[in-house]
Amino acid sequence: MLLRRHLPSIAITSPALNVVKSATQRLKHWANSSDIDWLKKAHPKWEKLTSIVAVTAKRECKGKVTEETRYFISSLDATDPKRLGQIVRAHWGIENNLHWVLDYAFDEDKQRARIGNSDANMAIVRHIALNLLKAEKTSKVGIKTKRLKAGWNETYLLKILLGTS
């Protein structure tokens, strides 16, 4: 991958963070750089791109070590690593919240669609349903209750699907 060739130029901007939770140990390295002309050349439409952030997380659980690196591109200045870190953490907060809503309202973790692209297709359907349920503002109940109500009440289902109040 082209990005991995440029990783040595990305400087660690914050010390490694050790987080110990029960038998799991996590170690995170944050790195960022504004030296990204090579990336802008590869993607000329990304004209506002000014920085890249790499977050490498090592996790040890029951003797098994896994490592994951996530990359974020940004229009924010790389000289403010604290702000970049806040943005990345906020992004994951949103992602985690979305996953929680999908799991709670749709039992997403228990879905068993596995043939071909069925799992990805059903995830798209659940996201569409979630957006339709969130858009319905007249019923002052949670997403899961709205979903169940739509299954019981055809008039309410049509209200959600047509976006009528």
Mean pLDDT rounded to a whole number for the chain: 76
* Mean per-residue pLDDT, 5-26: 46
- Going by C-alpha positions, the residue among 136, 144, 141, 139 that lies closest to residue 105 is 144
Q: Which of the four pLDDT bands, split at 50, 70 and 90, describes residue 37?
A: confident
DSSP 44: T
- For the entire predicted model, the pTM comes to 0.47
Are 30 and 7 in contact, with CB atoms under 8 Å apart?
A: no
Q: How far apart are CA 131 and CA 121, in angstroms?
A: 16
Segment 99-121 shows an average pLDDT of 80
The whole-angstrom separation of Cα 126 and Cα 30 is 33
Is the pLDDT at 14 greater than 50? The verdict is: no
Position with higher pLDDT, 119 vs 148 = 148
CA gap 66, 58 in Å, rounded: 6
HEC profile of 90-118 = HHHHHHHHHHHHHHHHHCHHHCCCCCCCH
pLDDT value at position 21?
46
Q: What is the DSSP letter of 53?
A: E
The answer for residues whose C-beta is within 8 angstroms of residue 93's C-beta and 6 or more apart is none
pLDDT above 50 (res 134): yes
| Residue 16: per-residue pLDDT | 41
Q: What is the token pair recorded at 137?
A: 């503002």
**Residue 5 has what pLDDT?**
54
| pLDDT range class, residue 132, cuts 50, 70, 90 | very high
Lowest mean pLDDT among 51-60, 84-93, 104-113: 84-93
User: Which tokens is 135 given?
Assistant: 């858009």
Is the pLDDT confidence value at 152 over 90? yes
